[in-house]
Amino acid sequence: MPGKYMLNFDTSELPQEEDEYIILGSGIAGLYTSLAASCAGSSVTVLTKHAMMDTSTDKAQGGIAAALGDNDSPALHQEDTLVAGVGLCDSEAVVTLVSEGPDRVRELIELGAIFDCDSNGLALTREGAHSQRRILHASGDATGAEIQRVLTHHVKENEKIRVLENHYVVDLLVRENTCYGVLAYDQEAKILKVFRGKVIVLATGGLGRLFEHNTNPEIATGDGIAIAFRAGAEVMDMEFIQFHPTVLNITGAPRFLISEAVRGEGAYLRNSKGCRFMTGYHAQAELAPRDVVVRAILKEMALTGSNKVYLDLTHLDPEVIKLRFPNITKTCLDYNLDITVDCIPVAPAAHYMMGGVKTNLLGETSIRRLYACGEVACPGVHGANRLASNSLLDGLVFGGRIVNETKHILQDYRPQYREFACDRLLEPVDIDFAAVRAELEVLMGQKVGPVRSGTGLKEALDFFDYWSCLYRHEVENTGQMEVKNMLLVGELVAEAALARRESRGGHCRVDYPDTLKRWQKHIIFRR
């Protein structure tokens, strides 16, 4: 079991700063929450691990879901979300998401976000498991980049918000189940700093980089979940990792997401023999829920002895495809693939974390004055399988709710200048952390990937047990800190996956293939 802190430190010996809100992360959840807090009259410090634009939001292609179409409604959006979540969605959380979502999207438009339009207004498309065309998109397949652009612009122009880049949050400062601030490492000055706040908000994103094959940026190493768990916060649904069905699979090329919107516009999935196969697996064929499509692809790969399947757009209008998916078109051309005449080789890869730090509908964690929103948080809205394009909406809705909830804290709060120090002396260690990380990434893909077994999961836990010795040692740089966090979070994922003896949504056990009513419940861990 890890100690409470990752480094030797004493806050009385460190530079200290204070603000009303300390927000960790600069994606859609962190930036929107920052803007909402500033609009409520508060001052904000945003700490981000690398550059401000280095986020999963910036990489998001497909779009953002909201019931804005003439034939759509929050009730229909709710129904689709619940079906995709396979019995584990919190119904109140889903109602909150779909009912408040349209206003949050309108807010983005008022801020200057430019979504694609047609003669009828917003050009809404459809993605897997959606019953209606409700996905807004920007510049064809660069929706996240447009949202990141708009929010970044407004945050930079806001005098109440200070953004500190290259500040790696090492640990939360918690005493008697109350969070007083964070310990952070300034990667430019190479010093530890203390940031005290009245409200601390985790918006650090996901953990896709635990897996060798993933769609996530380098920052997504599960740090927020790790620091929250070390501090004593509850984490929930850690076994539910979403693997995206269609990620570019070319030898020597980095994994690149091929948006679900491609299938939404009519692309077919074909196996290595050229046969379309999804019609034999689900009534919605290529637009089935993501977990269904992933398992179908893996089965076809096994049956044909191939490590990939193919996305076929060749029957669609070439000019429409180029206009709708300019980023995908250009990236594939870099690898000599013309998607208007060539099929795209794809395979599943780790994409999104449905679980995370457990919160209520106001973003509160089990630690006082610590809140969480976005992919790091788990209010129960995604259940066992996230509905496509609900992720960006999640960050907006629950980030805004945190600010509404915390106004009273700012009014009633009286600063308490408590000092913190590491609870035990950590000793240096001579270990090749890069090699440990590489082994971890391969192990997670092989033993804790989209298809799991009790035997494989136990082997994964043996690996984590072996390296638990590192918890007794200090680390020297942020790369080593990431490895410690990845080991902790990977163990939580494997442990939850071993405990859940059924298959449901993003969690598939070959030794427990059925979905069981008695497992319609959540697994919650607390240090």
pLDDT at 97: 98
pLDDT digits (tens, 9 = 90+) for 439-479: 999 999 999 999 999 999 999 999 999 999 998 888 889 99
Q: Does the pLDDT value for residue 422 go beyond 90? A: no
Q: ∠ CA 170-174-177 to the nearest 5 degrees?
A: 145
Of the CATH numbers 1.10.940.10, 1.10.3720.10, 1.20.58.100, 1.10.150.20, which one belongs to the domain with range 433-519? 1.20.58.100
Average pLDDT, the chain: 95
| Dihedral-angle region of residue 249 (phi above 0 means left; psi in -120 to 50 means alpha; beta otherwise) | beta
Q: Which residue has the higher pLDDT, 407 or 94?
A: 94
Cα separation, 363 vs 18, in Å, equals 22
Which whole number is the average pLDDT over 190-200?
97
pLDDT digits (tens, 9 = 90+) for 26-63: 999 999 999 999 999 999 999 999 999 999 999 888 89
Which whole number is the average pLDDT over 189-209?
97
pLDDT at 466: 96
pLDDT at 415: 64
pLDDT digits (tens, 9 = 90+) for 469-513: 998 888 889 999 999 999 999 999 999 999 999 999 999 999 999
Which whole number is the average pLDDT over 347-376?
97
pLDDT digits (tens, 9 = 90+) for 272-304: 999 999 999 999 999 999 999 999 999 999 999
Q: Is there a common fold for 11-240+354-412 and 433-519?
A: no
Cα separation, 218 vs 59, in Å, equals 11
pLDDT at 395: 95
Which whole number is the average pLDDT over 310-315?
97
Query: Residue 1: which pLDDT band, with cuts at 50, 70 and 90?
Result: low
Q: Between β-strands 161-164 and 344-353, what pairing exists: parallel, antiparallel or unpaired?
A: unpaired
pLDDT at 409: 77
Does residue 290 carry a catalytic annotation? yes
Enumerate residues 6+ apart whose C-beta is below 8 A from 219: 49, 50, 54, 55, 56, 205, 209
Residue range 244-348, CATH number: 3.90.700.10
* 179, 200 contact by CB (below 8 A): yes
The DSSP call for residue 279 is: G
- For residue 121, the surrounding DSSP H or E stretch is strand 121-122
Q: Does the pLDDT value for residue 425 go beyond 90? A: no
Q: Which of 104, 209, 290, 452 is catalytic?
A: 290
Residue range 11-240+354-412, CATH number: 3.50.50.60
Q: What's the first-to-final CA gap in the chain, in angstroms? A: 8
pLDDT digits (tens, 9 = 90+) for 77-105: 999 999 999 999 999 999 999 999 999 99
Domain edges within the chain = 11-240+354-412, 244-348, 433-519
pLDDT at 418: 81
pLDDT above 90 coverage of the chain, percent = 89
Which whole number is the average pLDDT over 159-167?
98
Q: Does the pLDDT value for residue 426 go beyond 90? A: no
Q: Which two tokens stand for residue 244?
A: 């995206």
Which whole number is the average pLDDT over 236-258?
94
pLDDT at 35: 98
